[in-house]
Homo-oligomer: A and B are copies of this chain.
Amino acid sequence: MSGSGDVHYHDYLQLDKILNAQFPESDKLNASAHDEMLFIIIHQAYELWFKQLHHEADSLVAIMRQPSLNDNSPELQTVVHRLNRMVVILRVLVHQIDILETMTPMDFLDFRDMLRPASGFQSWQFKLLEAKLGLKFEYRHGKEYYTAQLRQEHVDLIKQAETNQSFLQLVNDWLERMPFFDDAEAWKELSPSKTNDIHPFWVAYTNSYSNSLAEAEKNNLEAFHEVMFEHKETHYTLSAKANRAALFIMLYRGYPLLQLPFQLLNNLLEIDEQLSTWRHRHMNMVHRMIGTRIGTGGSSGKDYLKSAADKHYIFKEIAQLTSFLIERRRLPQLPKAIEQKLGFAAPSNSPEGGRTHSTRPA
């Protein structure tokens, strides 16, 4: 079980490969440009980290595919832990842009033309990661754009990932499996309504939500109905049922069984935020480096990057649920039987994050 006893750092890390993989074009042309080494090495560092992000994302997909994974499965902790690691990696990738910014536009011009038509748009690993996480093709800015720049084998990988269940879709399925609302009997005390087939909890909650809105916000109620129940539009990845489970988790995260699910959802938003910040800083950096000079492809790089930065939020359907939160004191009080299912042995406990009894109006 232990190692062979002769593992050496240099070999183990394959440093003969890694450290001999830098071939500046400017050297070949006898016009050595000092900063081209930096340009190569920073992109290689990015690609190494993209590989690591794929390693994590693949493991997450494998775990989430298990049909039995639900709110108290032990692997949920692993999912949360690895999502968090992805966030930590993305933070370093954002910071790393500082290094590229030490290259001035004039220093870049020393070798920029030698690289054509290579460009950063050609990182298939990054596009593949977006696809695995759940960026839909129809939301990808400049849809056909990337196929022109990538090799067929890498385009195929991305198309394949777009066909497979994405991590976002697996999150949807996991949310749909959440067993909170199953015990009809236990919930009945919450709302006696029998006039429609809406679950008693949501009857009570819709009422509270409506009351929480000021006059000028009344049209939020329509959006609430559309997102949580009707789903008349067709562009959704998350089902109405999954939305309801996600909102319930955000509302009652204080209950023990909802703590890891809440951390999971929160990490998804964190990933989107880091990706968004990365795109934003990358766009600014490109702008400083090459200005607004119109490229050979007809559209400027900055415009592309800017549109992508605005559109590519993968988990935006989860983010928008925030609009439907209400104050804790307005939350429907859960039935005791449900509270026990959510992890309260002693039902008299009042969790931070669950309903705060003491501030409840008489």
A189 at the interface (CB under 8 A from B): no
> With A31-B359, A294-B216, A322-B289 given, is the CB distance from A74 to B109 under 8 Å?
no
A151 at the interface (CB under 8 A from B): yes
CB of A203 to closest CB in B, whole Å: 21
Residue in B280, B287, B323 whose CB lies within 8 Å of A280: B280
Residue in B7, B55, B217, B344 whose CB lies within 8 Å of A74: B344
Residue in B115, B291, B329 whose CB lies within 8 Å of A323: B291
Contact A109 B328 (CB under 8 A): yes
| Contact mask for chain A residues 112-146; partner B; CB cutoff 8 A; 1 contact, 0 none | 01111111101111000000000000000000000
Contact A2 B114 (CB under 8 A): yes
| Contact mask for chain A residues 145-176; partner B; CB cutoff 8 A; 1 contact, 0 none | 00001010010000000000000000000000
Contact A116 B329 (CB under 8 A): no
Interface hit among A46-54, A180-188, A230-238: A46-54
A207 at the interface (CB under 8 A from B): no
Write out the residue numbers on chain B whose beta carbons fall within 8 Å of the beta carbon of A96. Answer: 92
Write out the residue numbers on chain B whose beta carbons fall within 8 Å of the beta carbon of A336. Answer: none
> With A291-B320, A294-B217, A324-B291 given, is the CB distance from A99 to B78 under 8 Å?
no
Range of interface residues on chain A?
35 or more
Contact B343 A72 (CB under 8 A): yes
Q: Give the distance in Å from the alpha carbon of A346 to the alpha carbon of B328 in the complex.
A: 34
Contact B352 A77 (CB under 8 A): yes
Q: Give the distance in Å from the alpha carbon of A290 to the alpha carbon of B9 in the complex.
A: 18
Contact B9 A123 (CB under 8 A): yes
Q: Give the distance in Å from the alpha carbon of A110 to the alpha carbon of B116 in the complex.
A: 45
Write out the residue numbers on chain B whose beta carbons fall within 8 Å of the beta carbon of A64. Answer: none
Contact B47 A19 (CB under 8 A): yes
Write out the residue numbers on chain B whose beta carbons fall within 8 Å of the beta carbon of A89. Answer: 99
Q: Which residue of B lies closest to A349 (CB)?
A: B74
Contact A296 B45 (CB under 8 A): no
Q: Which residue of B lies closest to A81 (CB)?
A: B102
CB of A235 to closest CB in B, whole Å: 16
Write out the residue numbers on chain B whose beta carbons fall within 8 Å of the beta carbon of A289. Answer: 322
Q: Give the distance in Å from the alpha carbon of A233 to the alpha carbon of B4 in the complex.
A: 40
Q: Which residue of B lies closest to A326 (CB)?
A: B109
Contact A3 B25 (CB under 8 A): yes
**Can you list 14 A-B contacts with CB-CB less than 8 angstroms, sorted by A residue number?**
A2-B113, A2-B116, A7-B117, A7-B118, A9-B119, A19-B48, A68-B346, A74-B254, A74-B351, A74-B353, A217-B293, A217-B294, A273-B284, A293-B323
Chain A residues near B (Cβ < 8 Å): 1-3, 5-10, 12-15, 17-19, 21-23, 25, 29, 31, 34, 37-38, 40-45, 47-49, 51-52, 55, 59, 68, 72-75, 77-78, 81, 84-85, 88-89, 91-92, 95-96, 98-99, 102, 104-106, 109-110, 113-120, 122-125, 149, 151, 154, 214, 216-217, 219-220, 250-251, 253-256, 259-260, 266, 269, 273, 276-277, 280-281, 284, 287-296, 298, 319-329, 343-346, 349, 351-354, 359, 361
